[in-house]
Amino acid sequence: MKPVVSLFTSSIGRKFLMAATGLVLIGFVAGHLAGNLQIFEHPDKINGYAHFLQSLGPTLWFVRLGLLGCVAIHVWAATVLTLENQAARGGSYGFKSTIQATFASRAMRWTGYVVLAFILYHLAHFTLGAAQAATFKETLPRYTMTDDYRILGLTVVRAGAVVLDVHSMVVLGFQHSLVAIFYLVAVGLLSLHLWHGAESLFQTFGWRNARWSRPLRIVVALACALYFLGNLAIPGAVLTGVLMPHSSPSAAIAAPAGAAK
């Protein structure tokens, strides 16, 4: 019990908690992007993927609550460590020596708060269906699967199943330029947050040394750039007309129904 308590009461423990929760959240955002990029395939893909997630029922909410818990611990640890550092310095510096610091590291705190706001909006927009209800006048579109949806060769959603039309929901959602712009700004800030956070994570776990420091920084920067471009592709394709609703959603179900993502 004592080691667990020390995670929350010591600076080293809080740094470990921030790194560990950060690692979990990095895995989530990477998997989230991989799932969302299925929107560039047949509508069966993204619709089947979303329906499979929703079919997990309580398990899905257990995962969501776990992720929200990681976010809460991550933000708490970061805030406490920041306050401790300021107290140790006797307050903020009159002159900040940030010549060698990256923009990502200097913006870490503010990007974190903006990303938190984005996560809450994203849950309301796509998961809880609150924002989508306004778009579809309190109804959400349905879609009939034309083929089986498989994961690792196993059929998880069968052809003929009637599911939420997440493909149309995403496309129509991003046709609102303000929504698309807000999404891109938030994802850009998240990418900056990941850039510095991933480097700090390697440092905290002792996976970074003088020999690998520069190559690691390059790999992390490239990975974050690819993450941003992957997210940029979806609203970008919608705004340029590359991605269009596959059909006019006519059949619908009452919202919110825990839509997608």
Residue 214 has pLDDT above 70, yes or no: yes
Q: Report pLDDT for 120.
A: 67
Domains of the chain by start residue, with CATH: 2-90+101-254 (1.20.1300.10)
Residue 42 has pLDDT above 90, yes or no: yes
Asked if 113 and 65 touch (Cβ cutoff 8 Å), the reply is no
pLDDT (tens digit, 9 = 90+) per residue, 46-69? 999 999 988 988 998 898 888 889
Place of tokens 């899905």: 60
Euclidean distance between CA atoms 1 and 8, whole angstroms: 12
Residue 256 has pLDDT above 90, yes or no: no
Q: Which residues of 101-114 are buried (b: 16+ CB within 10 A; e: fewer)?
A: eeebeebbeebbeb
Q: Which residues contact 32 (CB under 8 A, 6 or more apart)?
A: 261
Average pLDDT, stretch 3-20? 83
pLDDT band at 144 (very low <50, low <70, confident <90, very high): very high
> What's the maximum distance between 2 C-alpha atoms anywhere in the chain?
66
Residue 239 has pLDDT above 90, yes or no: yes
pLDDT band at 240 (very low <50, low <70, confident <90, very high): very high
Q: Report pLDDT for 199.
A: 81
Q: Report pLDDT for 95.
A: 42
Residue 225 has pLDDT above 60, yes or no: yes
pLDDT (tens digit, 9 = 90+) per residue, 118-138? 666 666 555 555 445 555 545
Residue 230 has pLDDT above 50, yes or no: yes
Average pLDDT, stretch 178-203? 85
88 to each of 85, 91, 145, 229, how far by Cα in Å?
A: 5, 8, 60, 39
Euclidean distance between CA atoms 215 and 231, whole angstroms: 25
Asked if 158 and 44 touch (Cβ cutoff 8 Å), the reply is no
Alpha carbons within 13 angstroms on the beta-carbon side of residue 192 total 19
Q: Report pLDDT for 125.
A: 53
Which carries the bigger pLDDT value, residue 119 or residue 161? Answer: 161
Instruction: Give the burial class of 31: count Cβ atoms within 10 A of its Cβ; 0-12 exposed, 13-18 middle, 19 or more buried.
Output: exposed
Q: Which residues contact 163 (CB under 8 A, 6 or more apart)?
A: 47, 48, 50, 51, 142, 143, 144, 145, 157
According to DSSP, the β-strands at 149-151 and 252-254 are unpaired
Out of 55-59, 69-73, 91-95, least confident range: 91-95
Q: Report pLDDT for 25.
A: 87
Average pLDDT, stretch 172-192? 87
